[in-house]
Structure 1
Amino acid sequence: MPPLLLFLSLLSLLLPHASSLDYCVADLSLPPTPSGFPCKSPSKLTSDDFYFTGLGVAGNTSNIIKAAVTPAFSPQFPAVNGLGLSLARLDVLPGGVIPLHTHPAGNEALVMIQGTLCAGFVDTANNVFLQTLKKGDVMVFPQGLLHFQINSGGIPALAFVTFSSPTPGLQITSIALFGSNFPSKLIEGTTFLSDAEVKRLKGILGGSG
């Protein structure tokens, strides 16, 4: 076989597999691995696999925190699997709060769309960084650091956030302490809160122990 034809034949064998290196749309029918979900076969993908409409509708804010987070992580938007990014929508009513929490696997950037949020984070040297965010403002929250957002205005606040991971993770401090079965005596000993206060908070957030 002439060298050119041999080269073209080999190239034709490689081309069907080339697109699989461009992306890894999550196959949610398979369990996730430490590096993300297994990839859906490229031959089964359509443009709909790279399209998500879930952030166009406000989340349900009729809850104790008067706020909602609508995620577009790998489980909701499989196309971000393996891309090193994801998104979410924040809806916060006046007086509402996204409580102190961390994202252990990703940095966060927040873009204000409507309303006002008081936002901030605490670094590992216990320095506190606070800012009042209005429409068009952006704030970043480094990976793993405690941070929060509170609606400090008179109208519902809307913000979109992006993360440097398709699965940034989430741990809300108050839920971890008072919404779990963490023994009350250990919480009292590690936080210096009274037994009555720990029981009150567990009663509000549904914890036991």
Structure 2
Amino acid sequence: MIMLLAVNIVGLTHASDPDILSDFVLPPGQNPANVDGNFFTFTGFRQVGSNNLTWQSNVKVTKASMAEFPALTGLGVSMALLQFPAGGVNPPHTHPRASELLYLLSGSLVVGVVDTTGKLFTQTLYGGDLFVFPKGLLHFQLNNDYKKQAFAISGFGSANAGTVSLPSALFTSGITSDVLAKSFKTDTKTIEMLKAALKA
């Protein structure tokens, strides 16, 4: 029994996207004879950046994960293109299934990651810089230039990295206000104001 438990724990600590036993995975019902180069092509980034975001908006994320690009299923990789309006922020969040490697294409970003001891690591990035966010750790990005947009591309070590946005997870998920008030050492009125602001 103890040996079985130990094997399961080791398996969980090394969990990642499972290896596939074929060259690639087709959606259910698709005939392999009908597969051509289109299956391996994603065109969803073509129009990114053609619109100007206003400073009031947050980051616009265009994903290329297995949901948008089925050819990635089982391959353990995905990407996202991030468009930051002037002054825009990608709020604190985590990716529970993958590390993220962010490459800043243009502009500048202040980025930060918090480790499991609560230590914050920050850096200001400029076009051409890379920053890595380890799997599961809380992180954010901020365009603190209030005149120019910034563009970045992120690569993930999973076809479905997942995203848990802390503001949404805490204040719009249904956690009761009394639990949050006690957790943040404040009153329920303050928590209700935060919940209302995030729902608007």
Superposed pair shares fold, TM > 0.5: yes
Contact 2:55 2:85 in 1 (8 A): no
Query: Aligned partners of 1:135, 1:40: CA distance in 2, in Å?
Result: 41
Q: How does 1:111-190 map to 2 (within 5 A)?
A: 111-153=103-145, 154-190=147-183
Please give the secondary structure, in 2, of the residue aligned with 1:201. helix
Please give the secondary structure, in 2, of the residue aligned with 1:21. coil
Q: Which runs of 4+ in 1 moved over 6 A?
A: none
Contact 1:94 1:151 in 2 (8 A): yes
Partner of 2:84: 92
1:115–1:63 distance in 2 versus 1, CA, 3 Å: closer
Query: Aligned partners of 2:177, 2:55: CA distance in 1, in Å?
Result: 25
Query: Aligned partners of 1:157, 1:111: CA distance in 2, in Å?
Result: 11
Question: What is the TM-score of this pair, normalised by structure 1?
Answer: 0.78
Residue 45 of structure 1: how far off its partner (Å): 1.3
Residue 56 of structure 1: how far off its partner (Å): 2.4
Contact 2:64 2:78 in 1 (8 A): yes
Using CA pairs under 8 Å that are at least 6 residues apart, name the structure with larger relative contact order, 1 or 2: 2
Q: How does 1:34-113 map to 2 (within 5 A)?
A: 40-58=30-48, 61=53, 65-113=57-105
Please give the secondary structure, in 2, of the residue aligned with 1:205. helix
* Structure 2 residue ranges without an equivalent (≥5): 1-20
Contact 2:95 2:135 in 1 (8 A): yes
Residue 206 of structure 1: how far off its partner (Å): 1.5
Contact 1:180 1:206 in 2 (8 A): no
Query: Aligned partners of 1:100, 1:64: CA distance in 2, in Å?
Result: 17
Query: Aligned partners of 1:66, 1:196: CA distance in 2, in Å?
Result: 26
Residue 42 of structure 1: how far off its partner (Å): 2.6
Query: Aligned partners of 2:71, 2:117: CA distance in 1, in Å?
Result: 37
* Structure 1 residue ranges without an equivalent (≥5): 1-19, 31-38
Aligned length: 177
Query: Aligned partners of 1:145, 1:198: CA distance in 2, in Å?
Result: 25
Query: Aligned partners of 2:142, 2:178: CA distance in 1, in Å?
Result: 30
What amino acid is aligned across from residue 83 of structure 2 in structure 1?
Answer: D
Instruction: Decide which structure has the larger Cα Rg and report it.
Output: 1
Please give the secondary structure, in 1, of the residue aligned with 2:45. helix
Query: Aligned partners of 1:87, 1:145: CA distance in 2, in Å?
Result: 18
Query: Aligned partners of 1:71, 1:40: CA distance in 2, in Å?
Result: 23
Query: Aligned partners of 2:186, 2:44: CA distance in 1, in Å?
Result: 40
